Amino acid sequence: MVGASLAGLLTARALRGQGFQERIVVVGAERHRPYDRPPLSKDFLKGAIGEADLALEAEGEEPGIEWRLGVAATALDAPARKITLGDGTTLTADGIVIATGAAARRLPGTGGLAGVHTLRTLDDARALRADLERAGRIVVIGGGFIGAEVAATARELGRDVTLVESGPAPLAGVLGPAMAHALAGLHERRGVRLITGAHVTEVTGTGRADGVRLADGSHLPADVVVAGIGATPCTGWLAGSGVELGDGVLCDEGGGTSVPGIVAVGDCAAWYEPALGRHHRIEHWTGARQRAAVAAATLLSGGTARPEPARPPYFWSDQYDVKIQFIGHAGDADTVTVEEGDPATHSFLAVYRRGERPVAVLGVNQVRLFTRWRRHLETTPAHTG
C-alpha cells in the first residue's frame, strides 16, 4: 500500500474485511498516521479542534498493518511488483495499491518566501494556523474548495480577507457560473473582498511576502498569501514503471491499472467511468470511501470482480454557517433551476437537468431535501456524457 491516506487506510480495511489475512505494509511519505483532511481548512485552522480529533483510526484499533512512515516511494518496477523507497530499501509484493494522493500546486517564484502557504497536509495546516495568529491581512488566490474555505475561516477569525479568482466566481468550475454567482455573495456579505476575472503575476516581498500583484498592475497588501490553485496527482515516482498514466493513474472501472496485481485509489487514481465515457479523478472524501472496497475486490479477485455502477460524485463544503452539498456533474446539464428557497438567503436547492433528466443537485442549507435528491440520483440509471 503506497500512501498512508484515507484511501489507503480504507482499502487496507476492505482487504481485511474481504478475507485477506496476509501481510499488509503501508508506505507513507508523511510521518503521520492517516488523518482526516477536510477539517484542516475549517475547524482545525480556526483552533476549534486539535490534532487528536483528526485521527482516522479508533482508539486501540489494530487492523494488522505494518507502517513505514516518513519515507516516500521513489520508483516502481511494475512487472516485478518491486517498490524502491527513499531510504534505499525495497519492498516486493504480491499485490500493490497505489494511493499516493495529490500535491498542492505552488505559485511559481515563491520558493523560500515566508508567509506563502498551500493547504494540503497537516504540516501545511500547522504552519498556516501559526501565521494566521499574527496576520492582519490575508490574500487567498483561487476560489476552489480550499480557497473558499480558507477565506471563510480567516474572516471568521476577524482577519481582513481578499479572495482572488481567475474565473467568473468562486466554485464556477464545479457548480457552473449561475449557481457560483449565487454563492459569491456569501463571502461578500461576510466582509470578504472578492476579485474575479483576475490573474496574479507575482507575490511581492523580500524574505517574506508583503502582497500580491495582479495583471492589471494593482497591488494587494498581505501579511499572509494562501494559494488554493488546485492539485496534481502524485505519480512522478511511477515514470517508467510500466503503469499507464494520464491525469493520474489510469484505471478501469474497478480500479485495476494497466498492470495485473496493481490497483489505484484516491486522488491519484483516474478511474474509467462508462457513464462519462472517459477517465475521471474524484478528489473528494466520499470518492475514497466508495472506491476503496471496489479496489480491494479487484485486487483480490485478480480483476474478475464486477463492480456496481459508479455513484455520481458527491461533496460538501462548510463555509461560515452554511453547508454546501453537491452531487453529480454540472457540466452535463443544459439547464439549472432553483426549486426550493432563495439564493439571496443562502438557503436553497437547485436541480441541474439535461433535457428532462436530473444530472446534478446543489443544496445550500437544505440538508433534508438534498438527502432525498441525493438518493434519487444514486439509484437512477447512470447518465451519459
CATH of residue 339's domain is 3.30.390.30
Give the bridge partners for 116, in sequence order: 225
128 and 99 housed in the same domain: no
- pLDDT of the residue at 275: 75
pLDDT digits 0-9 by tens, 146-174: 999 999 999 999 999 999 999 999 999 99
210 and 125 housed in the same domain: yes
Q: What is the CA radius of gyration of the chain?
A: 21
| Residue type present at position 294 | V
In CATH, what number is assigned to the domain containing residue 157?
3.50.50.60
Q: Confidence band (pLDDT; 50, 70, 90) for 63?
A: low
Q: Confidence band (pLDDT; 50, 70, 90) for 105?
A: very high
- pLDDT of the residue at 288: 80
155 and 40 housed in the same domain: no
Residue 237, SS3 per DSSP:
helix
- pLDDT of the residue at 352: 97
Give the bridge partners for 17, in sequence order: none
275, 382 Cβ separation under 8 angstroms: yes
Nearest to 124 by CA among 37, 192, 211: 37
pTM of the full structure? 0.92
- pLDDT of the residue at 305: 86
Task: Tell me whether residue 275 is in a domain.
Answer: yes
Task: Tell me whether residue 316 is in a domain.
Answer: no
Task: Tell me whether residue 263 is in a domain.
Answer: yes
- Nine-digit cell at 90? 525495497
359, 329 Cβ separation under 8 angstroms: yes
Q: How far is CA 307 from the centre of its chain?
A: 23
Task: Tell me whether residue 153 is in a domain.
Answer: yes
Cα torsion angle, 158, 160, 164, 165, sign:
positive
- Nine-digit cell at 335? 439547464
189 and 269 housed in the same domain: no
123 and 203 housed in the same domain: yes
d(CA 340, CA 328): 18
Asked which of 15-24, 196-205, 229-238, 299-308 is least confident by mean pLDDT, the reply is 299-308
217 and 245 housed in the same domain: no
203, 210 Cβ separation under 8 angstroms: no
- pLDDT of the residue at 373: 96
Nearest to 97 by CA among 290, 261, 240: 261
Nearest to 95 by CA among 297, 242, 359: 297
35, 122 Cβ separation under 8 angstroms: yes
Bridge pairing between strands 224-227 and 269-273: unpaired
Task: Tell me whether residue 334 is in a domain.
Answer: yes
- pLDDT of the residue at 384: 42
37 and 97 housed in the same domain: yes
pLDDT at 276 over 80: no
In the chain, what are the helix, strand and coil shares in percent, each to the nearest 5? 25, 30, 40
Domain boundary among 229, 250, 270: 229
Burial class (CB in 10 A: 0-12, 13-18, 19+), 22: exposed
pLDDT digits 0-9 by tens, 321-334: 999 999 998 988 99
Average pLDDT, the chain: 93
Q: Confidence band (pLDDT; 50, 70, 90) for 62?
A: low
Task: Tell me whether residue 220 is in a domain.
Answer: yes
The fraction of the chain above a pLDDT of 70, given in percent, is 98
Q: In the chain, which ranges are continuous DSSP H helix?
A: 6-17, 122-134, 145-156, 172-175, 177-189, 285-301, 367-379
Domain that includes residue 345, residue range = 321-379
Domain boundary among 229, 258, 275: 229
Residue 60, SS3 per DSSP:
coil
The fraction of the chain above a pLDDT of 90, given in percent, is 85
pLDDT at 385 over 50: no
Query: ∠ CA(220), CA(115), CA(70), 5° rounding?
Result: 145
222 and 136 housed in the same domain: yes
Bridge pairing between strands 96-98 and 262-264: parallel
Burial class (CB in 10 A: 0-12, 13-18, 19+), 361: buried
pLDDT digits 0-9 by tens, 75-90: 999 999 999 999 999 9
Task: Tell me whether residue 308 is in a domain.
Answer: no
Domain count, the chain: 3
d(CA 155, CA 132): 11
| E strand or H helix at 29 | none
Q: How far is CA 24 from the centre of its chain?
A: 25
176 and 192 housed in the same domain: yes
256 and 333 housed in the same domain: no
222 and 253 housed in the same domain: no
Residue 273, SS3 per DSSP:
strand
The predicted model gives 346-373 an average pLDDT of 96
Cα torsion angle, 367, 368, 371, 373, sign:
negative
189 and 280 housed in the same domain: no
Domain boundary among 186, 204, 229: 229
Cα–Cα separations (whole angstroms), residue 316 to 2, 57, 350, 364: 27, 22, 15, 10
Largest CA distance in the chain: 62
102, 51 Cβ separation under 8 angstroms: no
